[in-house]
Amino acid sequence: DADVTQTPRNRITKTGKRIMLECSQTKGHDRMYWYRQDPGLGLRLIYYSFDVKDINKGEISDGYSVSRQAQAKFSLSLESAIPNQTALYFCATSIPNSGRPKPHPDTQYFGPGTRLTVL
Amino acid sequence: RKEVEQDPGPFNVPEGATVAFNCTYSNSASQSFFWYRQDCRKEPKLLMSVYSSGNEDGRFTAQLNRASQYISLLIRDSKLSDSATYLCVVNNFGNEKLTFGTGTRLTIIP
């Protein structure tokens, strides 16, 4: 089973609709992230959360909101979807650098992605 | 100037050849460097970290040049399964956020 899961995997919606993308993880990581990926622009950070009570804006948070319901769950909402929010959305997790052995510093583990189309 | 820049390619390389990519970064305070691999329509996955002394993992070699602010990835004896997009990723000191390049697309030709 995948350690980081995203639902739905694909979604087509209309302009103005409210959409929620969900992310769950079984890795036990404290840190979770939401990115969007667009052709030619790479991955851009929308929001991130270092624990349940910590939410931070990324570089492109306008038009998005998030909720960290539990350590294992981090949801991304589009309150009123618009066509330029059509993209591939990834959730990711990581653990902090200090106080643990780790295979690689700052490794992030990504979910399989949600392809969102806003018409 | 983008914080992390890569040649988007595509690089079309015959099987068995050696191929190298470079990536430049603009923030001299950057501390951690990585190469991630992304297959078509899939999530990115860590390929290897890049250490100051250079490091090797099988057919893959990563190098860091702090003076010129670039990192490189060398793939020897390329396989068909190496076809993917390679993302250059940078992290700044004390900052758990990663900055991703737009990726270099590699296709290995039989």
pLDDT tier at B94 (50, 70, 90 boundaries)?
Answer: low
**Are B8 and B54 in contact, with CB atoms under 8 Å apart?**
no
A105 neighbourhood in chain B, CB within 8 Å: 32, 49, 91
Residue B68 backbone phi and psi in degrees, to 5: -100, -5
Residue B102 has pLDDT above 70, yes or no: yes
pLDDT score at B96? 67
Look at B42 and A48 and tell me if their CB atoms are within 8 Å: no
Q: List residues of B whose CB lies inside 8 A of any A CB.
A: 4, 8, 32, 34, 41-46, 48-49, 87, 91, 96-98, 100-103
pLDDT band at B41 (very low <50, low <70, confident <90, very high): confident
Set of chain A residues whose Cβ sits within 8 Å of the Cβ of B43: 90, 110-113
Which pLDDT score is estimated for A99? 47
Mean pLDDT of A39-56: 91
CB contact, 8 Å: A113 with chain B?
yes
Average pLDDT over residues B26-45: 91
For residues A90, A68, A46 and B3, what is the CA-based torsion angle, rounded to 10 degrees?
Answer: -90
Q: Do A42 and B45 touch (CB under 8 A)?
A: no
Nearest CA in chain A to B101: A42
Q: Give the one of B4, B49, B98 whose C-beta lies nearest to A108's C-beta.
A: B98
pLDDT tens for A67-117 read 999 999 999 999 999 999 999 999 999 876 554 444 445 688 999 999 999
Is the pLDDT confidence value at B15 over 80? yes
The pair of three-digit structure tokens given for residue B4, joined into one six-digit string = 């992390």
Distance separating alpha carbons of residues A2 and A23, to the nearest angstrom = 12
- How far apart CA B82 and CA A51 sit, in angstroms, is 36
CB-based contact (8 Å) between A112 and chain B?
yes
Q: How far is CA B59 from the centre of its chain?
A: 14
As a 3-state breakdown, chain A gives helix, strand, coil percent values, each rounded to 5, of 5, 55, 45
What are B79's two structure tokens? 């396989």
Of all residues in chain A, the one with the smallest CA distance to B2 is: A41
Answer yes or no: do B43 and A110 touch at CB < 8 A: yes
pLDDT average, residue stretch B38-65: 92
Provide the residue type at A96 as one letter: P
pLDDT of A39 reads: 86
Task: List the single residue in A with minimal CA-CA distance to B102.
Answer: A42
Per residue in A2-30, pLDDT tens? 699 999 999 999 999 999 999 999 999 88
Which residue from A90, A106, A113 is facing B96, i.e. has the nearest CB? Answer: A106
